[in-house]
Amino acid sequence: MQQLIYFIQKYRYFLFFLFLELIAFQLIINNLSFHKSKFINSASSITGGFYSKTNSMRDYFQLDIENKELLNENLILRNKLEKLSQSIDTPALTEIFEKTDFRQRYSYIQGRIEKNQFRSNYNFLTINLGKKRQSCP
């Protein structure tokens, strides 16, 4: 507290000057319509820019939620597409299927790349999918 009093005593003339300047600006802005409109417009543009930046940052940080929703939609649509492509039978394909009894069914599942390495001749992707093998007793 003592340092605050010393600071005020040391810079009292400068602080008094700033106080008078603020009063002068306030009187100019309140009494002259041109200056008042310019001040309001500039304040609106500053706050509008600030709000737009904060909204863009909020939207960026909420992209994770939107990406998960899109992944789920893509997963559903790909599974539907696979079912539709399997249900459409052409005569040539049905003959091949009847001869070999080979019906491969795909179901897409959602996954994420945990780690990727592309620097060497052999590229590796680590994906968070699959099942753990259970040991046989």
Chain segment 16-70, per-residue pLDDT in tens: 999 999 999 899 888 988 888 888 888 877 887 788 888 788 878 888 788 888 8
Distance, CA of 128 to CA of 114 (rounded, Å): 6
Q: What is the pLDDT of residue 136?
A: 47
Q: Is the pTM of this model over 0.85?
A: no
Is the pLDDT at 4 greater than 70? The verdict is yes
- Kindly report, residue by residue over 79-108, the tens digit of the pLDDT: 888 777 776 755 555 555 555 455 556 677
- Tell which residue, 129, 132, 107, 127, has the closest CA to residue 117: 127
Confidence of residue 9 (pLDDT cuts 50, 70, 90): very high
Distance, CA of 37 to CA of 30 (rounded, Å): 10
Confidence of residue 137 (pLDDT cuts 50, 70, 90): very low
Measured at the CA of 47, the angle between CA 46 and CA 52, to 5 degrees, comes to 100
Q: What is the pLDDT of residue 21?
A: 95
- Tell which residue, 118, 136, 112, has the closest CA to residue 64: 112
Q: What is the pLDDT of residue 128?
A: 77
